[in-house]
């Protein structure tokens, strides 16, 4: 397999040129597990660890290599390579870490297409689809909505129409990964050298879909709970898997929750209907709440815009504003901590100078 089959392109070659002059080699992260990595360099798989400088100088978790990243590595004398730098990302599917920590986590990097997988069973949820679409548009990759478990759905056409109403302008494909039907419709996004990430909540059948696309039982699969069709994590780590046709599939564990990390761009991409209606509002900064002359609220009152969809738009907006406030607070705290260190250093230097000059 050559580098171009892994997604290497002229833009990456330009970015890598300074590292090539240092004798480093390009490679792509295929797996990450507790600080240890598996790299693909076009010739073989190679285990790798981070260079100490990269680990200590990283500005945060998101600055460290993620699955799908291109890196500059030093092969060394042993079989284990040393990752020296991470090349700029063309796209990154990012979420906020679960819990109270205000930090981003890169779920998948350098992805061309995101297959957003949802199950056509008890887990079908239009509001969750909107959330995933917002994150996908924010990532810079192209989303495709994959409706899995079509064999279990007695209301396939109704669910398809419901999905089309929230995934406006997004390609939609209904498949049965278990019965391996409908998979041919995914072919346009699975060309050689292209990278596709599978994302979705637990139990939607991503592992079964991986096996169907590979033509082999590579991934373990498990049952879902009968009461809500939710599953447990079968895939336990992110992994970049080459497909027989030459595409690369980035499989991820099911996400229990997807907290957004981004700005208004992702929400606007997921709600183009609201954005279009907002152009008719009386005020440019209309929040589509109680302002007079709100075209969005008027459309909802006329039944032209689903009120549940408008509420979802508001909910995601509130979440993004809270996130922005927390990020601002974290930035202020970091700035204050930096100046405290500088102030202490200045005081120590001044004290040392006084001692040297006999100033007491």
Percentage above 70 pLDDT, the chain: 84
Q: What is the pLDDT of residue 228?
A: 47
183 or 124, higher pLDDT: 183
Which residue has better confidence, 42 or 248? 248
Q: Which of 89, 54, 57 is nearest to 70 (CA)?
A: 89
Domain boundary assignment for the chain: 3-86, 92-251, 271-360
Q: Between these two residues, 290 and 189, which has the higher pLDDT value?
A: 189
Is the pLDDT confidence value at 99 over 70? no
Summary mean pLDDT of the chain: 85
- Give whichever of 145-159, 212-226, 291-305, 308-322 has the largest mean pLDDT: 291-305
pLDDT, greater one: 172 or 75 = 172
**Distance separating alpha carbons of residues 272 and 6, to the nearest angstrom:** 33
CA separation for the pair 261, 138 (Å, rounded): 9
Average pLDDT score over residue span 190-208: 91
- Look at 16-25, 74-83, 93-102, 192-201 and tell me which has the smallest mean pLDDT: 93-102
Residues with Cβ within 8 Å of 152's Cβ and at least 6 positions away in sequence, in order, are: 120, 121, 176
The answer to whether residue 122 scores a pLDDT higher than 70 is yes
Nearest to 278, CA basis, from 317, 248, 245: 317
Residue 222 has pLDDT above 90, yes or no: no
- At 236 the pLDDT is 57
Q: Could you tell me which of 249, 241, 245, 145 has the C-alpha nearest to residue 195?
A: 249
Q: What is the pLDDT of residue 238?
A: 86
Question: How many Å apart are CA 162 and CA 146, to the nearest integer?
Answer: 13
pLDDT of 100 strictly over 80: no
Mean pLDDT in residue range 157-173:
94
Of 6-10, 27-31, 87-91, 228-232, least confident by mean pLDDT is 228-232
Contacts of 347 (CB under 8 A, 6+ apart): none
Sorting pLDDT into bands at 50, 70 and 90, what band is 173?
Answer: very high
pLDDT band for position 334 (cuts 50, 70, 90): low
Listed residue (71, 20, 9) closest to 46, CA to CA: 71
In this predicted structure, the answer to whether residue 336 has a pLDDT above a threshold of 90 is no
Mean pLDDT of all residues in 294-315: 95
Instruction: Say which CATH superfamily domain 3-86 falls into.
Output: Nucleic acid-binding proteins (2.40.50.140)
CATH superfamily label, 271-360 = Probable gtpase engc; domain 3 (1.10.40.50)
Give the Cα separation of 61 and 101 in Å (integer).
Answer: 12
d(CA 255, CA 13): 33
Q: Which residues, 6 or more positions from 95, have their beta carbon under 8 angstroms from its beta carbon?
A: 104, 105, 107, 135, 255, 258, 259, 260, 261
What's the pLDDT at 327?
Answer: 60
Task: Tell me the fold of 92-251.
Answer: Rossmann fold (3.40.50)
Q: What does the pLDDT look like over 254-279, one tens digit per residue? A: 565 576 666 778 889 999 999 999 99
Could you tell me the pLDDT band of residue 18, with boundaries at 50, 70 and 90? very high
pLDDT at 225: 44
CA gap 101, 208 in Å, rounded: 33
Given a cut of 80, is residue 351 above it in pLDDT? Answer: no
Average pLDDT over residues 295-307: 95
Helix/strand/coil (H, E, C) string of the chain? CCHHHHCCCHHHHHHHHHHHCCCCEEEEEEEEECCEEEEECCCCEEEEEECHHHHHHCCCHHHCCCCCCEEEEECCCCCCEEEEEECCCCCEEEEECCCCCCCEEEEEECCCEEEEEEECCCCCCHHHHHHHHHHHHHHCCEEEEEEECHHHCCCHHHHHHHHHHHCCCCCEEECECCCCECHHHHHHHCCCCCEEEEECCCCCCHHHHHHHHHCCCCCCCCCECCCCCCECCCCCCCEEEECCCCCEEEECCCCCCCECCCCHHHHHHHCHHHHHHHCCCCCCCCCCCCCCCCHHHHHHHCCCCCHHHHHHHHHHHHHHHHHHHHHHHHHHHHHHHHHHHHHHHHHHHHHHHHHHHCCC
């Amino acid at each position: 397999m050559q580098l171009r089959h892994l997604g290497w392109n002229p833009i990456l070659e330009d970015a890598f040129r300074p590292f090539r002059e240092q004798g480093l080699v390009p490679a792509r992260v295929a797996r990450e597990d507790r600080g240890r990595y598996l790299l693909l360099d076009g010739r073989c798989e190679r285990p790798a660890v981070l260079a100490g400088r990269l680990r200590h100088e990283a500005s945060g978790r998101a600055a460290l290599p993620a699955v799908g990243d291109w890196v500059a590595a030093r092969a060394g004398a042993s079989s284990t390579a040393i990752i020296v730098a991470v090349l700029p990302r063309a796209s990154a599917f990012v979420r906020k870490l679960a819990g109270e920590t205000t930090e981003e986590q890169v779920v998948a990097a350098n992805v061309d297409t995101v297959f957003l997988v949802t199950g056509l069973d008890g887990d079908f949820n239009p509001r969750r689809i909107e959330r995933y679409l917002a994150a996908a548009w924010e990532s810079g990759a192209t989303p495709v909505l994959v409706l899995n478990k079509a064999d279990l759905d007695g209301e396939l056409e109704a669910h398809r129409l419901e999905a089309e109403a929230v995934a406006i302008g997004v390609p939609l494909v209904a498949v049965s990964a278990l019965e391996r039907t409908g998979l041919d419709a995914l072919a346009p996004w699975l060309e050689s050298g292209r990278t596709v990430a599978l994302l979705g909540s637990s139990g939607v059948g991503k592992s079964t879909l991986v096996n169907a696309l590979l033509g082999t039982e590579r991934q373990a699969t498990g049952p879902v709970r009968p009461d809500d069709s939710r599953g447990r994590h079968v895939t336990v780590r992110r992994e970049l898997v080459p497909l027989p046709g030459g595409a690369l599939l980035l499989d991820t564990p099911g996400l229990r929750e997807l907290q957004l990390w981004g700005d208004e761009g992702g929400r606007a991409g997921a709600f183009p209907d609201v954005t279009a209606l907002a152009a008719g509002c009386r005020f440019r900064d209309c929040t589509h709440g109680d302002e007079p002359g709100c075209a969005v609220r008027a459309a909802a009152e006329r039944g032209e815009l689903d009120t549940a969809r408008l509420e979802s738009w508001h909910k995601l907006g509130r979440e993004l504003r809270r996130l922005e406030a927390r990020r601002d607070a974290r930035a202020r705290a970091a700035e204050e901590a930096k100046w405290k260190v500088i102030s202490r250093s200045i005081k120590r230097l001044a004290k040392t100078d006084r001692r040297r000059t006999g100033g007491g």
